[in-house]
Amino acid sequence: MKNGNRKFVIIGFPSNNFLFQEPGSNDEISTFCKSNYGVTFPMMSKISVIGKDQHPVYKFLTEKEKNGVLDSKVTWNFQKYLLDENGKLNKVISPRIQPDDQSIIDWILN
């Protein structure tokens, strides 16, 4: 995807919370994503995105009390959170929406 002169970073957070889709180690997950999907963006260590052991970054992303914008639920892998350059949550994108969807491209370019 071309992004013009805009600077943005995609960060992947693997999770094994949904039907055990990420059972591997961090290295196995990273290798799989690179070889099967051409992933070149940073992949973080596997974390829990829901439940009692939810990682603090996802507590921030899903709790209005912490992010100041809205409450949301992580419903499946590939849910997208769009934050501005100041770390403010701008949008939550359904996992059903592809990463190259026009709504995401428009957000990047605006």
Residue 96 lies in a domain: yes
Strands (E), the chain: 80-83, 89-93
What is the tally of structural domains in the chain? 1
Q: Do the beta carbons of residue 17 and residue 50 sit within 8 Å? A: yes
Distance CA 91, CA 4 (A): 21
Does residue 3 have a pLDDT over 60?
Answer: no
Domain that holds residue 75: 47-109
Indicate which CATH number applies to the domain containing 75: 3.40.30.10
Tell me whether residue 2 is in a domain.
no
pLDDT digits (tens, 9 = 90+) for 6-51: 578 999 999 999 998 889 999 999 999 999 999 999 999 999 999 9
18 domain residue, yes or no: no
pLDDT band at 110 (very low <50, low <70, confident <90, very high): confident
Give how far Cα 92 sits from Cα of 3, 74, 76, 101, Å.
20, 9, 13, 13
The confidence band for 1, taking pLDDT boundaries of 50, 70 and 90, is very low
Residue 78 included in any domain: yes
Q: Is the pLDDT of residue 4 over 90?
A: no
